[in-house]
Amino acid sequence: MTKEVKRIIFIVLFCEFLICLGMSLIFPVEPFIKNEYHFTAFDMGVMSSLFAFVQFIASPIVGRISDKIGRKPMLVWGLLIFAMAEFIFALAQHLWLFDLSRAIDGLSAAMFVPTSMALAADITSEKDRAKVIGWLSAAFSGGLILGPGLGGMLAHVNYKFPFWIAGLLGLVSTIIAWRFLPHDEDELVKSITKNPEDDLLSSGWSQLRQIMTPSLMTLFGMIFVAAFGLAGFESIYSLYVNEVHNFNLSAIALVLTLNGIISLILQVFLFDRLVQWLGEVRLMRYCFFVSLIGTILVIYDHSHWHIIIATLLVFEAFDLLRPAITTLLTKMSQANQGLLNGVNMSLTSVGNIVGPLISGYLLDVNYQYPYWFVSIFLIISWVITFILRHEQKVNTTD
């Protein structure tokens, strides 16, 4: 990679670290927000679903726009909208305002996440791509390292205080991206953010149909199914361990902080090697299996330390799954990375819409039901990895 490419990657990594730090500040306080305002688990699930619903609607549109106008405007506006959403949440006193904040937050995620991944794919070679995607995931985990512990400390001042800090971090990220990312007219960005097939850029979803292969269809199917399981586990985790296993604010913050530290180590030092050793498909298969075992342990084991260990197994598997899926997706087509990452985000968002709703409802009915629901979808995702591997072998033979 050239110095200019490394500089762009560093800026995106730094902004992603700040925005993820802001996002993770709120994780430990979710069950206490629920209790303070007398929300149900289903109400909290609706908040998560609204976030995902807006992602679903906006992501393919944002992906296409970023392919046409360049990545920088989308990244800057995504960060600014994130800051606005956090300030609204901090000021909210009624359920509809909390829901509005989460919807705006979903728009910011649709603008920032696929665009940052598309930018990474634009400016890196296939050889370096897994490494850079791993760095982006590490920046995400780096925010998670500091966020939950800091959020837990800030929540002792007030449960809303972490949201004010998250909004400020969003503003700082916006200024950094606006000031230091190259302008779209710069020669480097012109060469890496615009697809040469200008006649195909206007074709929208028809372009996706043209580049669709059996392997890509199978991968999209796995993304769709896996999202249900992953969202179902993550969306209610803080609520689940607080209500069922009596985890307090400090215990929840400890789990999320340990997860951030381990994820950072895995993604910075091991992800690229694991991809080279196992390949993306086999790595995904092992991650689904490990997350299934961890989920079952969370259901039936009542020792706090055992639950923490099982939770870490699940979260680390999830944290390797996401960059593995993204890396494989970017390798399946050399062009239209914004479109592919936008579709990836949309399919993930479908799971994020339905998963939290069902898990929240099931948690109100019976505490074991949500994670049995999650286990079923993890099994289906594990099976699809074998189908995906078969499709890849067929394509290679052809």
- CB contact at 8 A, 77 and 111: yes
**Of the candidate ranges 50-59, 131-140, 155-164, the one whose mean pLDDT is the lowest:** 131-140
Average pLDDT, the chain: 79
Q: Which of 157, 160, 188 is nearest to 90 (CA)?
A: 160
Residue 160 vs residue 235, higher pLDDT? 160
Structural domain range at position 274: 3-193+203-397
Looking from the CA of 284 toward its CB, the CA atoms found within 13 Å total 29
Whole-number pLDDT of residue 297 = 92
Whole-number pLDDT of residue 202 = 40
**Of the candidate ranges 90-94, 190-194, 223-227, 349-353, the one whose mean pLDDT is the lowest:** 190-194
| Torsion angle in degrees (nearest 10) through CA of 336, 338, 339, 341 | 120
Based on the number of CB atoms within 10 Å of its own CB, is 125 exposed (0-12), middle (13-18) or buried (19 or more)? exposed
Whole-number pLDDT of residue 289 = 94
- Identify the band that residue 201 occupies on the pLDDT scale cut at 50, 70 and 90: very low
Percent of residues, the chain, with pLDDT higher than 70: 83
Residue 88 vs residue 339, higher pLDDT? 88
Task: Kindly report, residue by residue over 60-79, the tens digit of the pLDDT.
Answer: 787 778 777 778 888 899 89
Asked whether residue 338 is domain-assigned, the answer is yes
**Could you identify the residue written with the tokens 């001042």?**
157
Task: Kindly report, residue by residue over 22-34, the tens digit of the pLDDT.
Answer: 666 767 787 888 8
Residue 195: is its pLDDT beyond 50? no
- Identify the band that residue 292 occupies on the pLDDT scale cut at 50, 70 and 90: very high
Identify the three-state secondary structure at position 26: coil
Percent of residues, the chain, with pLDDT higher than 90: 9
Task: Kindly report, residue by residue over 378-389, the tens digit of the pLDDT.
Answer: 898 898 888 887
Question: What is the average pLDDT across 117-139?
Answer: 74
Q: What is the CATH number of the domain that holds 52?
A: 1.20.1250.20
Asked whether residue 245 is domain-assigned, the answer is yes
Whole-number pLDDT of residue 191 = 46
The first and second tokens of residue 166, run together, are 């998250």
- Identify the band that residue 49 occupies on the pLDDT scale cut at 50, 70 and 90: confident
Spatial distance between the Cα atoms of 385 and 378, rounded to a whole number of angstroms: 11
- Identify the band that residue 91 occupies on the pLDDT scale cut at 50, 70 and 90: very high
Whole-number pLDDT of residue 258 = 83
- Identify the band that residue 293 occupies on the pLDDT scale cut at 50, 70 and 90: very high
Based on the number of CB atoms within 10 Å of its own CB, is 144 exposed (0-12), middle (13-18) or buried (19 or more)? buried
Q: What is the 3-state secondary structure (H, E, C) of 92-123?
A: CCCHHHHHHHHHHHHHHHHHHHHHHHHHHHHH
Q: What share of the chain is helix, strand, coil (3-state, %, to 5)?
A: 85, 0, 15
**Of the candidate ranges 20-24, 102-106, 277-281, 362-366, the one whose mean pLDDT is the lowest:** 20-24
Task: Kindly report, residue by residue over 242-280, the tens digit of the pLDDT.
Answer: 888 888 878 887 887 787 788 778 877 888 888 888 888
Asked whether residue 198 is domain-assigned, the answer is no
- CB contact at 8 A, 111 and 75: yes
Compute and round to an integer the Cα radius of gyration of the chain.
20
Tally of domains within the chain:
1
Residue 194: is its pLDDT beyond 50? no
- Identify the band that residue 209 occupies on the pLDDT scale cut at 50, 70 and 90: low
Residues 6+ apart with CB under 8 A from 220: 343, 344, 347
Whole-number pLDDT of residue 389 = 79
Spatial distance between the Cα atoms of 373 and 93, rounded to a whole number of angstroms: 32
Whole-number pLDDT of residue 225 = 76
Question: What is the average pLDDT across 296-301?
Answer: 88
| Torsion angle in degrees (nearest 10) through CA of 179, 17, 59, 282 | 140
Looking from the CA of 206 toward its CB, the CA atoms found within 13 Å total 5
